[in-house]
Amino acid sequence: MGHIVGLGTCVEYRIGTEPLNEERTPAGPTTTYARCKDELRRALEAETRASSFGFGWARVFYPYGPGEHPSRLCSSLIAKLRRGEEIVLKTPDSTKDYIYIDDLAEALLTVVEKRFCGIINLGTGEGVTVRQMAGFLGRCLGRPDLVRVAPKPEPDQFPFVVADPARLKSLGWRQRVPWEEGLTRLVALVGV
């Protein structure tokens, strides 16, 4: 029997204040990107049900690491700090599940090798705020003085996006790179 794994996004879920669980958290995509991903999942589910293929849908949380686009949060913070630019945190308490790219690759490989069928989260289960990340990077680069919070922080459309990784862990996957170590590695690679 064949097997297909599609890549979705964590924001296909209805975002709340609890870790996102494949069975308990309903879908509720609010962006065009998330709606398109969810529609693709539904179409592929229907097609694979009518065939002899197994189907897994991996909802990716917030990957970071070498090779990411320079405008992504981690790389852009590092570049700004290196240039001596002030960083004003507009959503300092925004909490996301950041997964280092090597851990994400290993999670996806696990899903493929186990021929997992159904929806599965590719996240760590650990929420990290923008304030924590920026503060850590400021200290790493010797520029904590450049990080400050906006006088009137803005609301975040997705204030708490953290995976419940129990299903992924049941397949044998384990996080190997904690966020602090991942950021330290990225600092060593991202230039001005």
Whether the CB-CB separation of 41 and 120 falls below 8 Å is answered with no
Longest dimension (CA), the chain: 59
- State the number of CA atoms in the 13 A half-sphere of 12 facing the CB: 23
What's the gap between Cα 87 and its chain centre? 22
Q: How confident is the model over 21-65, as pLDDT tens digits? A: 999 999 999 999 999 999 999 999 999 988 988 999 999 999 999
**What is the tens place of the pLDDT at every residue in 96-128?**
999 999 999 999 999 999 999 999 999 999 999
Q: Has residue 3 got a pLDDT over 90?
A: yes
Identify the bridge partners of residue 27 per DSSP, sorted by sequence position. 13
Which pLDDT does position 192 carry in this prediction? Answer: 47
Backbone phi, psi, residue 141, to 5°: -95, 10
Which amino acid belongs to residue 103?
A: D
Structure tokens at 122: 């590719």
CB atoms within 10 A of CB 181: 11
3 state SS for 32-46: HHHHHHHHHHHHHHH
By three-state DSSP, how is residue 68 classified? coil
- The model's pTM is 0.95
Structural domains of the chain in order of their starting residue, each with its CATH number: 3-189 (3.40.50.720)
